Amino acid sequence: MKITDSALRSFRVARTYRENSQKVNCVDYSPNGENAISSSDDDCIVLYDIHEGRPQRTLFSKKYGVDLIRYTHGDAETVVYSSNKLDDTIRYLSLSDNKYIRYFPGHTARVIALSMSPVDDTFISGSWDETIRIWDLRSPNCQGLTHPLGKPFCSFDPDGLIFAAGVESQAIKLYDLRAFDKGPFATFEMRLNRVCDWTGLKFSSDGKQILISTNGGMILVLNAFSGSVLHTFSGYNNSRGISLEACFTPDSQFVMIGSEDGRVHVWSTESGMKVAVLDGKHPGPINTLQFNPRFMTFASACTNMALVLESFREPAHSWDKDYDQCLLPLLTPQDPSYILYRLDSQNVQGYEWIFIAWSPDQSPVRQKMMYAATRATLKKEFGGGHIKDEMFGTVEEDVCFQGYLRHMSSCSSPAPLTVAEQELHQIKVTEGLAFPLQEEAKRALQQLKQKRINYIQLRLDVEQETIGLVHTKPTETHELPYRIPTDSPRYHFFIFKHSHQGQLQEALVFIYSMPGYTCSIKERMLYSSCKNRLLDEVERDYQLEVTKKMEIDCGDGLTEDFLYEEVHPMEHTLKQAFAKPRGPGGKRGNKRLIKGAGENGEDS
C-alpha cells in the first residue's frame, strides 16, 4: 500500500503495551519488519512480534542499564546497545540465549548516538567524550576514531559508504567511511538562531535528506548534498525541552514526530505542509517514534508503547458501492494482510462482516506461514459470530467486488472436486508418461558414468514436465544425510565407495527421498510414477548399473553402516535343514493299526 496523506490520517492505535515502569528510551524494528525491540530506563529489553501484535519476552540489563538499542545488520536475533548506568561500553547481545557475544570498550563518556551500517557488520557510535568510533561486530577493538570537535550525533547513509555527524548543534560534517581519517569531505555550517539543542540525526531512505531532531519545538530537514535547510517543522508541544525523536517514513515522503501531549504530527517533505495529527493515546510525552521498514505500521513510546494500525476507512455509500473503493487500495503486491469489511446487514450480535485473508504469491514464505497460523486467533478475538463470509485471495481479482460475487456463487453451487481429487484426476490423465531429462541432467549422468563426479541430485519440473538437475556437489558418505532436503522430494545417485572383504569397491546407489506428507499428493504420485522410467533410461542409455535402490523420508539413517548392509546384505550360509521331530524314546504304546487274521485263519 502506498503511503499517502489520506492513508496517514486513517492510522489508529491497534495495541497498547504496558510492559515498562519507566520511560521507553528507544524502539527499533528488525530489518525484515517482523519484530520490534524496545529499551527502557527501568533496565528492560522487550521483544515484540509484529505479526501477532504481542510482546514475546522481556530481558534485563540491571547492572549496566540499556539505551540506544539497535538490531544488527540482517539479523533479528542479535542487538547492540549502550549503557546508561555503570560504564560506557557498548554491548553485543544474543537475544535467543540472552548472552553477551562481545563488548566494545573505548568511550570515556556516555554514548549518545549509535548507528548500524545497512550493508555489513560495521557500526558507529558518538559520545559526550567528543569522539566518533567505528566498530566491527567481529572484533572488540575500535576500527577507527575521529574527533569532530564537539559532541556528535552520527548516522550512516543508506548505502553505508558515508556517515554524517551533527556537531554542537551548529554544523553537519560528512565523512567517507573509507577515508574518515582524512577528516570530513564536506562541512555544512548552520546559520540558525540557537534556540534549542540537537538530539538526533537521520538520513532518509533515498539518501537525499537529513533529519535533525531537537529538544525544542522544531525539527529540521536538510538537503544532504548541499546542507541547505529544506524545511523547518514546528507546531507541536515541547515546552519542557524533552528529547523527542523524529523519523522519516520508509518512502522518504513524510516526517513524523511525537509531542509532549501524546500526539503524533506528520509533515510532507515535498510540500512542507502538515498532513496529519494522530492521537497516540499516550499519558505522557512521546520520546521515541519509528516507522516499520516493511509494513504499514509504526510504533510510538512514552512509558507505554503503542502499535498503530495500518488503515481504517469510513463508509460513504452502501457496502457494495464502497467495496472496491475502500478495499483495493489496501492491497499490497508483496505483503499479506487481514481485511475486515463491514456489510450493511446485521444479525443478533450486530453488523455482519466479510473476513478477507490477503496472501499474494510474491510475499515471503515466512510471512505466509505466520498469517496462516494467526488466522484462527484473529477470528476468535474479533468474534466469529460477526463474520458472515470468509475469502482468501492471492491476486486482486480474487477479492475485488466481482471476485466476491463469484465466491458467493461458487459457495451456492454444487461442490466441485476437492484439490486432492483434482490432483488425482490429473495424475490419471498423465499416467504412463515419462518426463524427459533436461540437458544438464544428461551431462551429469554422463559425468557420473565417467566417474568425474560421485553424486547427482535431480528434481521434477512439474510445469515443464521434465527432470532437471539440482546439483552435483562432491559428497562424502558422512555428508550424504545433509544432501537430503527436508521439504521437497528428490532423486539421488551416489557412488558408495567402501571396503568389502578386504577389497575397495564402488556401488551406485539410487535414493528416492520423499519427506512424508509435507508434499502434495500430486508430487508424491508423479515422483513415484516417474521413478522406474528414469531408472530404465539410466541403465539402458548410460549403462549405469544401479546396485541398490531405496526409498527414504529423511536422510538421518543414511550412515555408512546402513549403506553397507543394504549393498551387502548378510547371507546365512549355515542353514539348519528342516527335520521331522522324533517320537518319544522307549516303548511307543499300543499300535493304532493291528494286523489281524484272515478269513481262513491265516495271517493276512
SS (H, E, C) 331-372: CCCCCCEEEEEEEEEEECCEEEEEEEEECCCCCCHHHHHHHH
Domain match, 261 and 294 both: yes
Statement: residue 585 has pLDDT above 80: no
Q: What CATH number should be reported for the domain holding residue 86?
A: 2.130.10.10
* Distance (Å) of CA 315 to CA 5, 16, 396, 404: 18, 26, 21, 18
Question: Residue 141: what pLDDT?
Answer: 96
- Taking only Cα atoms into account, the Rg of the chain, rounded to an integer number of angstroms, comes to 36
Give residue 576's pLDDT.
53
Distance CA 492, CA 459 (A): 9
Q: Are residues 174 and 280 in the same domain?
A: yes
Does residue 256 contact residue 263 with C-beta atoms inside 8 Å?
no
**151-178 confidence digits (pLDDT tens):** 999 999 999 999 999 998 889 999 999 9
Mean pLDDT, to the nearest integer, of 82-111?
Answer: 93
pLDDT(313) > 70: no
pLDDT at residue 311, rounded to an integer: 53
Q: Measured between alpha carbons, how far is 220 from 95 in angstroms, rounded to an integer?
A: 35
Per-residue model confidence as pLDDT tens digits over 422-437: 666 555 545 555 789 9
Give the strand order in the sheet containing 122-127: 111-116, 122-127, 132-136, 139-146
CB 352 within 8 A of CB 388: yes
Chain Cα centroid distance, residue 246: 27
Band (pLDDT 50/70/90 cuts) for residue 68 is very high
**pLDDT above 80: residue 75:** yes
Q: What residues contact 392, with CB distance under 8 A and at least 6 apart?
A: 356, 357, 359, 398
pLDDT at 292 over 70: yes
* CA proximity to 185, closest of 172, 166, 203, 201: 172
- 534 shares its domain with 553: yes
| Long-range CB pairs of 134-138, under 8 A, 24+ apart, other chains included | 134/177, 134/180, 135/90, 135/104, 137/72, 137/73, 137/80, 137/92, 137/102
- 318-374 residue pLDDT tens: 888 888 888 888 887 778 888 888 888 888 778 889 999 988 888 888 788 878 888
* pLDDT surpassing 70 at residue 400: yes
Q: What SS3 string covers 272-315?
A: CCEEEEEECCCCCCCCEEEECCCCCCEEEECCCEEEEECCCCCC
What is d(CA 582, CA 148) in angstroms, rounded to the nearest whole number? 106
Residue range 135-152: average pLDDT?
93
Domain-located, residue 419: no
Report the C-alpha gap between 82 and 123 in whole angstroms.
12
Which residue, 309, 342, 367, sits at the end of a domain?
A: 309
Residues 457-492 have pLDDT tens digits of 999 998 888 999 999 999 999 999 999 998 899 999
Q: CA–CA separation, 74 vs 76, rounded Å?
A: 7
In the chain, how many domains are there?
Answer: 3
Residue-wise pLDDT tens digits, 229-277: 999 999 999 988 899 999 999 999 999 999 998 899 999 999 999 999 9
Supply the pLDDT for residue 551: 92
pTM: 0.55
Res 448: pLDDT? 94
Are residue 451 and residue 379 in the same domain, yes or no?
A: no
**Cell numbers 539410466 correspond to what residue?**
538
- The residue with cell 517482523 is 34
Please report whether residue 289 resides in a domain.
yes
Q: Do residues 37 and 68 lie in contact, with contact meaning Cβ atoms separated by under 8 Å?
A: no
Output 588 or 167, whichever has higher pLDDT.
Answer: 167
- Selection from 25, 118, 135, 125 nearest residue 72 by Cα: 118
Long-range contacts, 76-79 (Cβ 8 Å, 24+): 76/30, 76/31, 76/32, 76/34, 76/35, 79/28, 79/37, 79/45
Is 252 inside a domain boundary? yes
- Could you tell me the residue range of the domain that residue 506 belongs to? 433-567
Q: Cβ(471)–Cβ(441) under 8 Å?
A: no
Q: Which three cell numbers stand for residue 503?
A: 577389497
Residue of 206, 129, 133, 119 whose CA lies nearest to 161: 119
Same domain, 294 and 334: no
Provide mean pLDDT across the span 379-388. 82
Q: Give the CATH number, domain containing residue 536.
A: 3.40.20.10
pLDDT tier at 588, thresholds 50, 70, 90? low
**Do 224 and 135 sit in the same domain of this protein?**
yes
Domain endpoint, select from 309, 336, 369: 309
**Do 394 and 451 sit in the same domain of this protein?**
no
Q: How much is the mean pLDDT over the chain?
A: 86
Both 233 and 343 in a single domain? no
Q: Over 43-77, what HEC string results?
A: CEEEEEECCCCEEEEEEECCCCCCEEEEECCCCCC
The residues facing 113 across adjacent strands are 126
Q: Are 300 and 328 found together in one domain?
A: no
Copy the grid coordinates of residue 283.
499519558
